[in-house]
Amino acid sequence: MNSLKTARVLIVDDIAEQAMPVIKVLGSLGIGCVYIPGDKLEDLVDMKPLSGIRLAFVDMELASAGTMREILGKTVNVLRKIIAEDTAPVMFVAWTQNDNYVEEFRIMLGEAMPKLRPLFVLPMPKPFTKKGKIRSRQVVRDVNRLLKDRRPLGVLWLWEQMSHDAATVTTQAIADLVTARSDSAQPPAEWKTSLSEILRLLLATGAGQNEDMPTVSQGLLEVLNSLHLDGLEHQDAGAYRREINPIRKLNKPELSASEMATLNSMLLLSPADPTDSAVRPGNVYVPSTISGPGCPHVLCDPDIEGLMNDILNLKKDGEYKRLSDKLNSNLAPAAKTGIKRELATQFKKLVKECRVILVEVTAPCDFSQKTRSVSRFVAGLLVPEPLVKLIKDKKESSRRLEAVQITGMDGIWSLVLSARFPYVIGKPEKLIKEPPVFRLRNSVVVDIQAWLAAQSARPGYVSLR
């Protein structure tokens, strides 16, 4: 039932009667939650850790006794079992009468789950009556107070909720369309058959003539995502604006090069499925030591020397410039031969530090309608951060993207393409068997295609100066 996992709130309490007031309060606010007693660790052995938890009400004493560290140790072990360690941000509510537990709980949880950062731990006393019951009205006030004190987490919380609401609207619209196909009430079996037909039509709309599983699944996602995005953009964003307004007034921060590269990676790049070798627009191929005959680099054999000289100003490299200047000086022919060898060695060193890439730039409609007779590529370089000073500036035949970090490749890289190095491969479905290293997002691919079209359409003219 993975498709119905939408709860963002967790309640851990070994006494259900004490947890119920919180569950009721959250329910009255329309907030779903996951309740786990946590009294028996053995019951959690087969449980898959929860991801996406944003708020966790945690009883500090889960049917345990002993010293404070022994009591809290069990609570921490329960949380290790039920919350995925890479979940963030999570606001923990230490639901206890003992104020001494709160800080110790924060320390022990940080030690046990070091990847769970940041650690927001807020105290919330259990409001017991004289008879040992929980005061429900006090719980309402306390929960409302906690939910109000959420900035700037509220921006992310609201965006997640708006995304969920937009997806709900999309699902409802499709369901309404299915229902409207019949004038009379449809039996459940017929309604599901009608839904399958509508989804089949949307699948074909997104995938075109391609019927392989990766393409049709991606095609249906693209159609549903476009409907979802439209719903998200038309959400009532009043509450969202109120959350954003205090942030809008802050000064813009100065980020490190690594932080900027990480953000740009999220915006520009998309991970590639290592088992999917379908040749799609946006695929980026980087040669490796094990590249075989099914690699586009082997098939295209891009002009590495030409690319290096077209994209980089090699004389900005100190050693290359020193050797080049020495070669052009008044040296004996025998001495120049040695300099040429050194210059070639330095060139190979720079080539090794960079990565030659091929980007698939075929029109998406040709790919989806299977009218593509050849696969089109444009070559370029991945230039590591220490060599970005060599990249030629303001060159119309080159297209440079912002610096990114690439999974599986250390450091920060700038992707630079050259319109002067296009390549084509006929029958790509049969010849290309190697999956891409990563993919460019659709908006980036469209931008590159427009740039290439502008480059190839420039007519030029004759004039005297």
For residue 275, pLDDT over 80 is answered with: yes
Alpha-carbon distance 321 to 315, whole Å?
A: 4
pLDDT recorded at residue 184: 60
Burial class (CB in 10 A: 0-12, 13-18, 19+), 291: middle
Model pLDDT for residues 2-21, shown as the tens digit of each residue: 667 778 899 999 999 999 98
pLDDT recorded at residue 186: 66
Give residue 452's identity as a one-letter amino acid code.
L
Burial 131-166 (b: 16+ CB within 10 A, else e): eeebeeeebbebbeeebeebeebbeebbbebbeeeb
Burial class (CB in 10 A: 0-12, 13-18, 19+), 329: exposed
Alpha-carbon distance 156 to 317, whole Å?
A: 45
What's the pTM? 0.80
Question: Is the separation of the CB atoms in 316 and 350 below 8 Å?
Answer: no
Q: What tokens does 88 get?
A: 């963030």
Angle between helical axes of 238-248 and 153-180 (0-180°, round to 10)? 150
Q: What tokens does 9 get?
A: 């709130």
Burial class (CB in 10 A: 0-12, 13-18, 19+), 413: buried
Better-predicted residue by pLDDT, 143 or 406: 406
Alpha-carbon distance 356 to 203, whole Å?
A: 35
Model pLDDT for residues 26-36, shown as the tens digit of each residue: 888 888 899 99
Percent of the chain with pLDDT over 70: 97
Place of tokens 């040669």: 287
pLDDT recorded at residue 10: 95
DSSP annotation string for 164-209: HHHHHHHHHHHHHHHHHT-SSPPPHHHHHHHHHHHHHHHHHHHHTT
Which of 287, 421, 300, 295 shows the shortest CA–CA distance to 351? Answer: 287
SS3 113: coil
Average per-residue pLDDT for the chain: 89
Mean pLDDT of 363-370: 73
Q: Per mean pLDDT, which of 75-89, 130-144, 148-162 is the most reliable? A: 75-89
pLDDT recorded at residue 312: 96
Backbone angles phi, psi at 294, to 5 degrees: -90, 10
Give the pLDDT band of residue 212 (cuts 50, 70, 90): confident
Question: Is the separation of the CB atoms in 448 and 360 below 8 Å?
Answer: no
Mean pLDDT of 122-131: 87
pLDDT recorded at residue 451: 94
Q: Give the end-to-end CA distance of the chain in Å, rounded to a whole number.
A: 73
Weakest-pLDDT range from 14-28, 209-223, 287-301? 209-223
Give the number of other Cβ atoms within 10 Å of residue 226's Cβ.
12
pLDDT recorded at residue 190: 85
Q: What tokens does 250 get?
A: 């802050």
DSSP annotation string for 320-348: HHHHHHHHTSS--HHHHHHHHHHHHHHHH
Mean pLDDT of 135-146: 86
For residue 136, pLDDT over 90 is answered with: no
SS3 148: helix
Model pLDDT for residues 376-429, shown as the tens digit of each residue: 999 999 999 999 999 998 888 999 999 999 999 999 999 999 999 999 999 898
